[in-house]
Chain A
């Protein structure tokens, strides 16, 4: 296992730009690589993607393995997995990180199974540390701690992959900040592959870009909607509040399940992870599986009727009151103070 070295990140993009989640992971990857004293490498697959190499170097890539090929124009699981697995076998990184996106969650398990190694899903943090296996009398230094929320978000588990390499994890988008630019050594390696084991069992018929880029990840202010909003009337006034604050709406699971707000608004263990400047929790009880998604918020303010609600422990400031009284008053005052309304 000693001959495995380096931190790798699999880069996602939409053909025009490197995805935000990849940049977030690169920031963390850079930090892990420095602590291990190894290089950060990024893998980039696609067609017409050579322009994106520069971005990867600006954000800290010491090495970029790029395969720019017409056959890679569309993401195809089998071919992408085969190519990536082969590259990992050849270069033996100790850590490989993917975004926990639809693509990353499709690709990473395929690669991990092919390499017969472990894979930890949806990490909210990563760290480097030691581990002693008392049963087997083995000691491991500087291995990857993969931190995931578990069992409804009330606890976090630290998962390790001590006996297998590479250590592979998918990382929840939104957990880390996009890092400052910090150029790496920037060596570029072109990867060519033969056509002999090219797989055509899957044909991409159509790609639909029908979803707006989520506003949640970029929002400075998020107004969180809980069941205390009591239906669409509450959603309406909270939407006005979000607009007045130059922010957007987020929601708890029950609110989304009730169809009051779309799925992409859901924050928490099974939804999005966000890190706004302000999270204004309105009528939210503060269950751990929701609050774990706003852990990165700079300030959390709760408006809630019930002073015994768990949200009162998990907020920086608490206004005890009915949102149907507090929010209209707040809107009125915000209107007086500026041209925001």
Chain B
């Protein structure tokens, strides 16, 4: 049985736009992330925290990988400040606009280049895309077992014991490693970075890899290499009848409201 101390953990993180900021949408339907402040996606931060707790307990090596524009380096710098060992940024203009299949293919090639790993932890879904697909698609490329929407887990020898959310409840599973899990943000409360952590991170290298560096085929990535395409984007029309319910005081307004409820037939059984 393998010693837990030899474990290599990979954490996948995504830089997402600050939800409080306005983000411009480009003509081709992709987001213009360059001018916005980027944050580490919520549940990816929980994934980092989960990996760091294993590291503190067993001394594993933790590598974070991100794919994105050059400024996604900030997200990795923050992960280094939190305490991870290595950081890799896959940044290549030709990868812009990759859908989930193309993204998981690129991550797969990068992980192949990194070599051996025991556990991959990623956030369950991103706050901007919210597809929850990259984790399972990557697991399929790697041919390893997966568990998604994990709320709690521990390492036991060569296995992961975990509790995951499921329709109508929860499930407890035992997964053989190497494996991939995606975690919900409720799994833990991520640490904040300390001043000494930030200082330490400033001097640590971040590997920046192009498509050539990881041996990814260019025709399988980016907008043109993605099976799904954005055909059009429209404003949602949520406008309705907008009829003001009149009344000089609360009493009158409520009387009119009750009359309308009856007329609309939505209250016939109650009133």
Q: Chain B: interface secondary structure?
A: mixed
Q: How far is the CA of A12 from the CA of B174 in the complex (A)?
A: 23
Among B132, B240, B245: residue with most chain A CB under 10 A: B240
Report A-chain residues with C-beta under 8 Å of the C-beta of B154: none
Do A157 and B233 contact each other (CB < 8 Å), given the known contacts A122-B130, A277-B266, A318-B243? Answer: yes
Report A-chain residues with C-beta under 8 Å of the C-beta of B25: 151, 155
Report B-chain residues with C-beta under 8 Å of the C-beta of A246: 269-270
Partner of A159, one of B134, B136, B231: B231
Partner of A208, one of B145, B171, B232: B171
Do A202 and B175 contact each other (CB < 8 Å), given the known contacts A155-B236, A209-B168, A245-B270? Answer: yes
B200 adjacent to chain A (CB < 8 Å): no
- The 0/1 profile, CB within 8 Å of B marked 1, for residues 152-169 of chain A is 111111111111100000
Q: How far is the CA of A317 from the CA of B260 in the complex (A)?
A: 9
Partner of B31, one of A106, A117, A151: A151
The interface size bin for chain B is: 35 or more
Report A-chain residues with C-beta under 8 Å of the C-beta of B176: 201-202
B92 adjacent to chain A (CB < 8 Å): no
The interface size bin for chain A is: 35 or more
Find out whether the CB atom of B169 lies under 8 angstroms from the CB atom of A211: yes
B1 adjacent to chain A (CB < 8 Å): no
Find out whether the CB atom of A205 lies under 8 angstroms from the CB atom of B173: yes
A119 adjacent to chain B (CB < 8 Å): yes
Report B-chain residues with C-beta under 8 Å of the C-beta of A145: 231
Partner of A338, one of B170, B174, B236, B270: B270
- The 0/1 profile, CB within 8 Å of B marked 1, for residues 96-118 of chain A is 00000111011011101110111
Q: How far is the CA of A159 from the CA of B99 in the complex (A)?
A: 11
Find out whether the CB atom of A209 lies under 8 angstroms from the CB atom of B173: no
Report B-chain residues with C-beta under 8 Å of the C-beta of A319: 245, 253-254, 257
Please give me the residue from chain B that is nearest to A303 by CB atom.
B257
Among B29, B140, B255: residue with most chain A CB under 10 A: B140
Do A278 and B261 contact each other (CB < 8 Å), given the known contacts A211-B169, A312-B242, A317-B241? Answer: yes
Query: Smallest distance from the beta carbon of A253 to chain B beta carbons, Å?
Result: 10
Find out whether the CB atom of A12 lies under 8 angstroms from the CB atom of B167: yes
Find out whether the CB atom of A110 lies under 8 angstroms from the CB atom of B168: no
Find out whether the CB atom of B173 lies under 8 angstroms from the CB atom of A299: no
Report A-chain residues with C-beta under 8 Å of the C-beta of B236: 149, 153-156, 288, 292
Find out whether the CB atom of B140 lies under 8 angstroms from the CB atom of A121: no
Find out whether the CB atom of B231 lies under 8 angstroms from the CB atom of A160: yes
Give residues 104-152 of A contacting B (CB, 8 Å): 105-106, 108-110, 112-114, 116-122, 131, 145-146, 149-152
Find out whether the CB atom of A106 lies under 8 angstroms from the CB atom of B238: no
Partner of A117, one of B135, B227, B235: B227
Find out whether the CB atom of B167 lies under 8 angstroms from the CB atom of A316: no
Report A-chain residues with C-beta under 8 Å of the C-beta of B23: 151
Query: Smallest distance from the beta carbon of A45 to chain B beta carbons, Å?
Result: 15
Find out whether the CB atom of A201 lies under 8 angstroms from the CB atom of B175: yes
B128 adjacent to chain A (CB < 8 Å): yes
Find out whether the CB atom of B136 lies under 8 angstroms from the CB atom of A113: yes
B228 adjacent to chain A (CB < 8 Å): yes
Partner of B228, one of A119, A149, A199, A211: A119
Query: Smallest distance from the beta carbon of A127 to chain B beta carbons, Å?
Result: 11
Report B-chain residues with C-beta under 8 Å of the C-beta of A14: 167-168
B148 adjacent to chain A (CB < 8 Å): yes
B75 adjacent to chain A (CB < 8 Å): no
Do A81 and B140 contact each other (CB < 8 Å), given the known contacts A312-B242, A333-B255? Answer: yes
Report A-chain residues with C-beta under 8 Å of the C-beta of B188: none
Query: Smallest distance from the beta carbon of A157 to chain B beta carbons, Å?
Result: 5
Give residues 243-266 of A contacting B (CB, 8 Å): 244-246
Q: How far is the CA of A161 from the CA of B260 in the complex (A)?
A: 45
Report B-chain residues with C-beta under 8 Å of the C-beta of A162: 229
Give residues 190-211 of A contacting B (CB, 8 Å): 199, 201-211
Report A-chain residues with C-beta under 8 Å of the C-beta of B132: 105, 109, 121
A314 adjacent to chain B (CB < 8 Å): yes
Please give me the residue from chain A that is nearest to B186 by CB atom.
A263
Q: How far is the CA of A154 from the CA of B233 in the complex (A)?
A: 10
Query: Smallest distance from the beta carbon of B132 to chain A beta carbons, Å?
Result: 5
Give residues 265-318 of A contacting B (CB, 8 Å): 269-270, 277-278, 286, 288, 291-292, 295, 298-301, 312-318
Binds B, one of A50-58, A175-183, A225-233, A321-329: A321-329
- The 0/1 profile, CB within 8 Å of B marked 1, for residues 209-240 of chain A is 11101000000110000000000000000000
Do A330 and B257 contact each other (CB < 8 Å), given the known contacts A204-B173, A211-B168, A337-B271? Answer: yes
Instruction: Report 11 cross-chain contacts, Cβ distance below 8 Å, ordered by A residue.
Output: A112-B137, A113-B104, A121-B132, A156-B236, A158-B230, A160-B229, A204-B173, A211-B169, A244-B270, A315-B242, A319-B245
Interface set of B (CB-CB < 8 Å, partner A): 19, 23, 25, 29, 31, 99-101, 104, 128-141, 144-149, 161, 164-176, 179, 226-236, 238-245, 250-251, 253-255, 257-258, 260-261, 264-267, 269-271
Q: A103-B167, A203-B174, A338-B270 are in contact. List 13 more A-B contacts (CB 8 A).
A: A102-B149, A102-B164, A102-B165, A109-B135, A113-B101, A113-B136, A118-B101, A118-B226, A119-B133, A205-B161, A208-B171, A316-B243, A317-B243
